[in-house]
Structure 1
Amino acid sequence: MKQVVSIIAFLCTVTLFAQTKVTGKVVDANNVPVPANITLQGGTEGVVADFDGNFIFETEKNPPFVLVISTIGFVSKTYEITENNQNILVQLEEEHTQLDEIVLSASRTPERVFESPVSVERMGIKQIKNTASASFYDGLANLKGVDLNTNSLTFKSVNTRGFATFANTRFVQLVDGMDNASPALNFVLGNLLGMNELDVASVELLPGASSALYGANAFNGILFMRSKSPFEQQGVSAYVKGGVTSQKAAGTNEYYDLGVRLAKAFNSKFAVKANFSYLNGTDWYANNEMDLEMPGATRSNPAYNGLNVYGDEVATTLNFDALAGLPTGTLGSDVVSRTGYNETDLMNYEAESMKADVAVHFKPFDNDFEIIGVYKIGSGNTIYQGSNRYSLNNFLMQQFKLEVKNDNFFVRGYMTTEDAGDSYDSRFAAINVNRYWKGDQAWFTDYAQTYIASRLGIGTGVPLDYQTAHDMARQAADAGRLLPGTSEFQTAFNQVINDPDLATGAKFQDKTKLHHVDANYNFTHLTEEFAEIQVGGSYRQYKLNSMGTIFTDYDGPIDYSEFGAYTQIQKKLLADRLKVTASGRFDKSQLFDGFFSPRLSLGYTLGKEGNHNLRASVQTGFRNPTTQDLYIGLNAGAAVLVGSAPDNLDRYSVTNTLSSSGQLVTGQTEATVYGRDAYENAYSVRSVNQGMPTAADVSLVKPEQVTAFEVGYRGKLKSVQLDISGYYNQYQDFISTENVLVPLYGTVGDNSLSLLALQNGDYQVFQAYTNSAVDIESYGINAGLETKLFKNYDFDINYTFSEFDFNTNEDPDFRPSFNTPKHKVKASIGNEELFKKLGFKVSWRWSDSYFWQASFADGNVPAFHVVDAQLNYGIDFLNSNFKLGATNIGSNEYYQAIGTGLIGSMYYLSWTINP
């Protein structure tokens, strides 16, 4: 009897722990293995097929049950398992529409674009391979609703939904979860520390506010770039691209770009990969000599201030009557500027970019738990246009990351460091080369003496006319001036660009660091019967270290930090047709009160076949003031930039020489004013220009907020796919800057001494960082269509409308810097198999005219259109793809911002191995 009981107990135990085993292989339509994901429908168990497409799936669940086979780029497929030890062959079909593709960013969980709760744009491996642009990053310009503003050949700035500048602090870019913005500048330098295109698995872009999940600064949008896993994509890949760039100003110049990717999985637990790429070319020359003070005037204007001419910003009012002791009105007075240098004589136009990274992946257990260590480095030369035009030479950024994750959670920490290298400010390079040769006082003295003598005919007996006298005065003051191309000029130039003191030099110096930690846990495997629930948080610390050249860190680095926490609940109702997503995040900066960002979105799938989806969402976003908004202390020439952090106001000071009249009034030759004066003792520029000086009302900067409403529709109508959305944004406390005039003596509003200072020209222009009191609204529409023409021609077209509005009477000094065309149209047509192994793609973009407003210069940007095209041919036995491409076909040179070089054309041939 005891033996019978033991046998029964043993059989029960075997039954209890028995496993169902399924083996199989996953291939595509051409029987090429696919390393897809195999998961239990309605459960959380799953495996990944190996590189040969083979898999073994084991579960305690007894048949029958259903497996879901899926991977990015293919249509998911289900397979019913009816018995133990069943062997299956699964053939996946390639996705034919972007609506079917899987995205992770919209809800921090995998879902189809079709059912995403908010607008999302995506580039997968197929789109990256077939882009008509010169690189995958340039190809972002073809996405719906995206603006890719060209600062230089190697620095493009991504933006959505308006309010764009090259210093785009309202847009976030993440590479494998790491923010790759410059820690000091707080914006992304294009793809400088981005990705080698051989390693790009997918690119996703969320337009609009995303603070509920991603925190501060995910305000206008967020871009996600994800790399390939060395476990899933192994081997050696390489590309080489060569050609020329063509621009009227710069001529025809060589361009080349090359890269390599190495990936190896030594076993199921350990894998490594390394990437390297290098680009070299000639940047777009900026040579616009338009007079900013008198548009249409020539360089004969005594106060000439050319757009791409620097050094002529140094100007003063010369009262010739007072200087000559003549009666008022005899010769009068004029504003006179020093002779400047063209940007083409000052800027390093060698565009260069080097990127490299190494990643180690370790799976210590036989499951999805993974430890990842990453090192990234990016260096190069590019041009950045902010308040001035900066030549960023040997600019270096590095990132170090350690991440632990599995399918349900991740914890990552990373550090970003930067070194400005040999970078310099081209405007101050010109100013101080001039001063190296001859000081301002001596130059203006020579000018005034010659002008007075010429007008009065002293020494010749023949008085000269106004213009001739000014020409003679400039010629005399410039006698012996250092000329570009001479050794004397080069000696002075080299000394200036290696001097970080802007009183005598132009070097841009910075070694700022950023530390960041974030984590996320998805409880869905525990709560799936109720809802999908996630929680997460982040912590960030800045360590500003410009050595007193940009920030007011004269006594050592400035530290400050911020943190945040969030949660999201997602629930499907009504037979899974209705998806409800609710998110909320709380963020706190060391310098400001905390801020709560909620989001609520609804998505409803309708139609018999579920081919139509409606979505609506409302969310709030916020943006913390940048490091520069808070701690900058920089004399940019036209104005002194001073951040408004309370502990910054008294650290910055500037000393000016008083006018002769001011010296008589005060009995002093110099006067010092402080950053605090810009906020507490200043005049509004507008009121002074109107002849009615009044005190400026400039408050200390605080976070800005947005409430964003969006509705949209996605649908499949036979062979046509549609994606349409509309948005409306309401902004509060919009971060802006305001130029104010600080008198060098007197107190604004208390006496007439400060008014006398204005009259005598004894004032300092400050750019203060503040918030606009006016409520701002922006709104727009994005509509896209994609289909197949003539059975196998891929065609897509999209349209974007963008507009903003605010009451100018409420804040007449507000500069919105919307910088976005009202209308944009983009279209492309292509065929991967025009003939056997031969494909092509042609893309066209048109932009309406718009007004560009930024600290460097304002002006109208004319409408433009661009055509890019490529032909590609695959050779299987070489594992190669050849591409012949051209951008801006027809050489219709255009620009996207006032002050940049005209964008020319590029012609190239590339060879990619193992694409």
Structure 2
Amino acid sequence: MIINSVIFVLKNYGIEKICILFLSKTNFIMIRTIFFAFTFLFSALGVAQTTISGKVTDEQNQPIPGASIQISATTVGTVTDFNGEFNLSTDQNLPFKIIISSIGFTSQTIALSSAQSIEIQLKEETTSLGEIIISASRTPERIFESPVTVERFGLKEIKNTASVDFYDGLENLKGVDINTNSLTFKSINTRGFAAFANTRFVQLIDGMDNAAPALNFPLGNLLGMTEIDVQSVELLPGASSALYGANAFNGILFMRSKNPFDFEGISTYAKSGMTSQKAAGDNVFWDLGIRVAKKFSDKFAAKANFSYLKGTDWFAVSEENVLNPGTGRELPNYDGLNVYGDEVSTNIRAVGLALAENGIIPAAAVNLLPNESVSRTGYLERDLTNYEAESVKFDAALHYRPFADDFEIIYQGKIGKGATIYQGANRYSLKNFFLQQHKIEFKNDNFFVRGYMTDEDAGDSYDMRFTGINVNRYWKTDQQWFGEYAGAYVQSTLGGASSEQAHNIARQAADTGRLIPGTPEFEQAFNTVTTNADLATGSQFRDASQLYHADANYNFSHLIDFADIQVGGSYRTYRLNSFGTIFTDYDGPISYSELGLYTQIQKQLMDERLKLTGSLRYDKSELFEGQVTPRFSVGYTAGANRNHNLRASIQTAFRNPTTQDLYIGLDVGRAILVGSAENNLDRYQRTFNVNNSVANGGEATATISARDAYENSFLASSVQAGAPVASNVGLVKPEQAIAYEIGYRGQLGKFEIDLSGYYTDYTDFIANQNVIVPLYGQVGDNSQSLAALESDDFKVFQTYTNAKSGVQSYGASIAIATKVFNGFDLSGNYTYADFEQEDPDFRAGFNTPKHKFKASFGHTELVKNFGFNFSYRWSDSYFWQASFGDGNIPSITVLDAQLNYTVPSLKSIFKVGAANLSGEEYYTAYGTGLIGTQLYVSWTINNF
């Protein structure tokens, strides 16, 4: 009942309208004023009766910012400020105990009988094994005892990262890959099969999946969390479906923000610097943010965050001919990697036949035309976008504890607007892309119930490939351009020109009067095309899709002694609304729902050295049969000092086909993408002109549907090989996997060691299959369908299906950390990853280097208030496979560095750093811009 009520509120409240307010400076000031006026009304909800103050320092008497001071057996507490000082006010009467803790230090418990000022000195822990995590079992436990591999990135790591921001710093974690799509959009992945559209990896922010509903994957941190509001980041590599459901397949990232009850005050940062790339030159970027939080009483607290980033993206300028690698523009059928419009090509002799039929050229002249394809002249990517990178984020949260205990009610709203480049089947310029989320949550230490909605708006985004194609067509139709090309070729050949000379003359003739970038005529065409959502004449894509989600969890550990038992469930509804520009939602939004239920039992035995964990989940999509995913793990703590932990687990996972796997209907130039939901097959229908009307029964056009792609098509690879065979593509169904993992985490002398190995066996691996649909005839008729292939009367479709053969991935990793030379932090990790497939024609898209090595060296306090860090990473070369293009990714070596200086009197940290210090440009995916150097300086105030 509660879940249904929450969903009803989220669907009907209409709060999406408020998100546009912050887009102007005036309205942001208005929001700020209203926010504080509103929170002021709650300031009288509680009256403090007791005040405890004090200071927390380390063994060198240096202050410890962000240390937690909490009243024992309650959720009442605070944290130390930048100077290590705190004030704790409560209406709870003395005596009571307080617990003082901070990551990297041993906790202390102090009994208090009177209000007083105290000083506490915490001892530094020699390892991070005592750090508390929540994600592995949905309950607090030491990372040392986690039943599965887990990586953690906390406040200390954020402060010391040599990367430009905390999200980039995650790349230094063991086993983690970050593929850079653009300056503001980076995609995290673990354990292979990476893609920018990474639907195998889930990203949760305060429990909310921040995947865009239509895209079905997160846009990195473009619309995510502000750095100064991050409390911790946890990452689970590998399968996690048993607890987290569909798509928690390769891994899951948890980001938790700071609770205003614990982290009060105003924090801010300013960051600026320069991006440097050969193609783009040197460009300034800015990154600014502020966090305001106030605990008004033991019952009410609130916070708000705002951040703004603006810079210039990495230019993508490759002109490699994707149809014939190693060649350039000299070939008549040229298709440049980052050149758009040249995807439109046709057989020039077929054009001559049409001209001869209409009496434009003599029939005898047709034989002068070569039997080869010719492409239109395209535009460079840099002519079709301004490479603006922007991210604007605002979020606010109201926290209410009606009984001043651990029961809490939270409203959280997040809105963001951005500009970036996304590479999927094509390259897309995302302009004014807008995403909002709103959540209501009820929770205490034993349960939570939350409901949230996600709403996206594509804004002024457009497809750069179709921009090039349709700017060409705006100026001159394909029929006219190819006709002029063929006529000029014939004339120049009759005049004695060679074939190469004739092609050059023909292109010059057909391109006469072509629109030149930068001219008013080009700008008019560009604006007309990018604001038109019909891909036959435009390139804009529209989207207003939504996602509604509710989930709940209850832990019975306070009621049951013999084991820790949890139960939970989730419900999700997708509402796809692209107005027919992405999905086949021509006649209105498409909706479908998913339901999941799970339970987990955890038991400790043998003096709490042995931990057994079993989980079981059932998920049901209305489009597919239900899926059951169990997980079992065992962990054993060994050694007299309990400093060695062995773990092993068997996990099953599944992945539902994505929104695009099911309902996409999109022509991307090189192919038409069509989803394979049963009710989608007849939704997509297109009519095309044919070259050989005689073979088509005298008809000049032919209509085909998505059903033809699955039921009447040739395998594209067989046509390319010259021996066409039927494709026999099956409709997509959920993907399943069984993952086996073993690991060790412990301390050997001064060394902290974490190692693991895994093997994953996939069934029904979701994949794309390119097929060729003849515009007439039936595949296998050995007549009309083959005539269609010979006359270029066919269309290439990309279908969504499952691999018919098995796929396996496996790998291992090891991380070692220690302190050397009296306090210097030294760490390193190595990861090996590989896969196998039984079908050599299957394109798995593993997209992951086989070998990776990362290292870090630094000191948080080299001299008083001065620290530094160097981060190094190397990865092996690998082959990238994706719908945009396939190509080799060279080996990369990257060095990041930072120096930081703390000024306690200003409550400030100043940092200067560089990402890719060597300046050697590299890329992590085929088709993206080369990544250059990013230099930065930052000033952070009161972030603890």
TM-score (norm 2): 0.90
Q: Partners of 2:87 and 2:603 in 1: how far apart?
A: 33
List runs of 5+ in structure 1 lacking aligned partners.
Answer: 1-20, 458-462
Q: Is the 8 A contact 2:52 2:87 kept in 1?
A: no
Q: Partners of 2:256 and 2:231 in 1: how far apart?
A: 6
The one-letter code sitting in structure 2 at the alignment partner of 1:827 is A
| Offset at residue 367 of structure 1 (A) | 1.1
The answer on 1:442 being equivalent to 2:480 is: yes
The one-letter code sitting in structure 1 at the alignment partner of 2:526 is F
Q: Which residue is 1:460 aligned to?
A: none
Q: Is the 8 A contact 2:101 2:108 kept in 1?
A: no
Q: Which residue is 2:284 aligned to?
A: 254
| Offset at residue 806 of structure 1 (A) | 1.1
Deviation string, structure 1 residues 164-189 (Cα, Å, up to 9, x no partner): 01000000000000000000000110
Q: Partners of 1:191 and 1:122 in 2: how far apart?
A: 17
The answer on 1:135 being equivalent to 2:161 is: no
Q: Partners of 1:33 and 1:133 in 2: how far apart?
A: 22
Task: Report the 3-state secondary structure (helix = DSSP H, G, I; strand = E; otherwise coil) of the residue aligned with 2:502.
Answer: helix
Q: Which residue is 2:832 aligned to?
A: 801
The one-letter code sitting in structure 1 at the alignment partner of 2:918 is G
Q: Partners of 1:776 and 1:664 in 2: how far apart?
A: 42
| Offset at residue 330 of structure 1 (A) | 5.0
Task: Report the 3-state secondary structure (helix = DSSP H, G, I; strand = E; otherwise coil) of the residue aligned with 2:263.
Answer: coil
Q: Which residue, out of 852, 862, 873, partners 1:845? A: 873
Q: Partners of 1:534 and 1:681 in 2: how far apart?
A: 49
Q: How does 1:424-573 map to 2 (within 5 A)?
A: 424-457=462-495, 463-527=496-560, 529-573=561-605
Q: Partners of 1:113 and 1:26 in 2: how far apart?
A: 28
List runs of 5+ in structure 2 lacking aligned partners.
Answer: 1-49, 80-85, 357-361
Q: Is the 8 A contact 2:91 2:298 kept in 1?
A: no
Q: Is the 8 A contact 2:695 2:788 kept in 1?
A: no
The answer on 1:344 being equivalent to 2:344 is: no
Q: Is the 8 A contact 1:33 1:53 kept in 2?
A: no
Q: Which residue is 2:887 aligned to?
A: 859
Structure 1 residues 80 and 427, CA gap change in structure 2 (3 angstroms): closer
Q: Which residue is 2:12 aligned to?
A: none
Q: Which residue is 1:387 aligned to?
A: 425
| Offset at residue 38 of structure 1 (A) | 5.7
Q: How does 1:159-558 map to 2 (within 5 A)?
A: 159-319=189-349, 322=353, 323=356, 324-326=362-364, 331-457=369-495, 463-527=496-560, 529-558=561-590
Q: Which moves more between the two structures, 541-550 or 318-327?
A: 318-327
Q: Which moves more between the two structures, 829-838 or 48-57?
A: 48-57
The one-letter code sitting in structure 2 at the alignment partner of 1:357 is D
Q: Partners of 2:119 and 2:863 in 1: how far apart?
A: 30
| Offset at residue 34 of structure 1 (A) | 6.6
Q: Partners of 1:267 and 1:560 in 2: how far apart?
A: 43
Q: Partners of 2:730 and 2:71 in 1: how far apart?
A: 56
The answer on 1:733 being equivalent to 2:764 is: yes
Q: Is the 8 A contact 2:66 2:102 kept in 1?
A: no
| Offset at residue 319 of structure 1 (A) | 1.2
| Offset at residue 194 of structure 1 (A) | 1.0
Deviation string, structure 1 residues 575-618 (Cα, Å, up to 9, x no partner): 11011111111110010011011111111010110111100001
Structure 1 residues 35 and 828, CA gap change in structure 2 (3 angstroms): closer
Q: Which residue is 2:56 aligned to?
A: 27
RMSD: 2.3
| Offset at residue 782 of structure 1 (A) | 1.0
Q: How does 1:642-681 map to 2 (within 5 A)?
A: 642-659=674-691, 661-663=692-694, 665-681=696-712
The one-letter code sitting in structure 2 at the alignment partner of 1:784 is A
Deviation string, structure 1 residues 481-505 (Cα, Å, up to 9, x no partner): 0010110000000000000000000
Q: Partners of 2:532 and 2:852 in 1: how far apart?
A: 44
The one-letter code sitting in structure 1 at the alignment partner of 2:539 is A
Structure 1 residues 779 and 68, CA gap change in structure 2 (3 angstroms): farther
Q: Is the 8 A contact 2:633 2:648 kept in 1?
A: yes
| Offset at residue 326 of structure 1 (A) | 2.9
The one-letter code sitting in structure 2 at the alignment partner of 1:442 is Q
The one-letter code sitting in structure 1 at the alignment partner of 2:853 is V
Work out which of the two has the higher radius of gyration on C-alpha atoms and give 1 or 2: 1
The one-letter code sitting in structure 2 at the alignment partner of 1:538 is S
The answer on 1:724 being equivalent to 2:762 is: no
The one-letter code sitting in structure 2 at the alignment partner of 1:467 is E
The one-letter code sitting in structure 1 at the alignment partner of 2:189 is N
Deviation string, structure 1 residues 9-42 (Cα, Å, up to 9, x no partner): xxxxxxxxxxxx99997834246687646687xx
| Offset at residue 298 of structure 1 (A) | 2.3
Structure 1 residues 99 and 859, CA gap change in structure 2 (3 angstroms): same
Structure 1 residues 719 and 689, CA gap change in structure 2 (3 angstroms): same
Q: Partners of 1:874 and 1:80 in 2: how far apart?
A: 30
Deviation string, structure 1 residues 727-769 (Cα, Å, up to 9, x no partner): 0000000000101111111111245221221122111111110
Q: Partners of 2:686 and 2:774 in 1: how far apart?
A: 12
Q: Which residue is 1:18 aligned to?
A: none
Q: Is the 8 A contact 1:35 1:48 kept in 2?
A: no
Q: Is the 8 A contact 2:274 2:934 kept in 1?
A: yes
Q: Partners of 2:365 and 2:510 in 1: how far apart?
A: 25
Deviation string, structure 1 residues 863-903 (Cα, Å, up to 9, x no partner): 01111101110111111110011111121000111100000
Q: How does 1:684-703 map to 2 (within 5 A)?
A: 684-703=715-734
Q: Which residue is 2:10 aligned to?
A: none
Q: Which moves more between the two structures, 70-79 or 137-146?
A: 70-79
Q: Which residue is 1:788 aligned to?
A: 819
Deviation string, structure 1 residues 519-552 (Cα, Å, up to 9, x no partner): 111111111x201111111000000000111111
The answer on 1:147 being equivalent to 2:177 is: yes
| Offset at residue 77 of structure 1 (A) | 3.8
Q: Partners of 2:249 and 2:810 in 1: how far apart?
A: 15
Q: Partners of 1:662 and 1:640 in 2: how far apart?
A: 23
Q: Is the 8 A contact 1:269 1:363 kept in 2?
A: yes
Q: Which residue is 1:889 aligned to?
A: 917
The answer on 1:824 being equivalent to 2:856 is: no
Q: Partners of 2:453 and 2:100 in 1: how far apart?
A: 34
Q: Which moves more between the two structures, 491-500 or 693-702?
A: 693-702
Structure 1 residues 274 and 580, CA gap change in structure 2 (3 angstroms): same
Structure 1 residues 115 and 476, CA gap change in structure 2 (3 angstroms): same
| Offset at residue 120 of structure 1 (A) | 0.5
Q: Partners of 1:78 and 1:580 in 2: how far apart?
A: 29
Q: Which residue is 1:835 aligned to?
A: 863
Q: Is the 8 A contact 2:919 2:932 kept in 1?
A: yes
Q: Which residue, out of 762, 781, 787, partners 2:793? A: 762
Q: Partners of 2:431 and 2:500 in 1: how far apart?
A: 41
Structure 1 residues 789 and 318, CA gap change in structure 2 (3 angstroms): same
Q: Partners of 1:471 and 1:298 in 2: how far apart?
A: 14
Q: Is the 8 A contact 1:35 1:232 kept in 2?
A: no
Q: Report how many residues are paired.
A: 876
Q: Which residue, out of 706, 721, 743, partners 2:774? A: 743
The answer on 1:576 being equivalent to 2:614 is: no
Q: Partners of 1:878 and 1:366 in 2: how far apart?
A: 34
% identity of equivalent residues: 60
The one-letter code sitting in structure 2 at the alignment partner of 1:217 is N
Q: Partners of 2:69 and 2:600 in 1: how far apart?
A: 25
Deviation string, structure 1 residues 199-223 (Cα, Å, up to 9, x no partner): 0000000000100000000000000
Q: Is the 8 A contact 2:77 2:261 kept in 1?
A: no
Deviation string, structure 1 residues 840-870 (Cα, Å, up to 9, x no partner): 0110110100000000010100001111101
Task: Report the 3-state secondary structure (helix = DSSP H, G, I; strand = E; otherwise coil) of the residue aligned with 1:202.
Answer: strand
Task: Report the 3-state secondary structure (helix = DSSP H, G, I; strand = E; otherwise coil) of the residue aligned with 1:417.
Answer: strand
Q: Partners of 2:125 and 2:664 in 1: how far apart?
A: 49
Deviation string, structure 1 residues 433-467 (Cα, Å, up to 9, x no partner): 0000000000000000000111111xxxxx00111
Structure 1 residues 523 and 231, CA gap change in structure 2 (3 angstroms): same
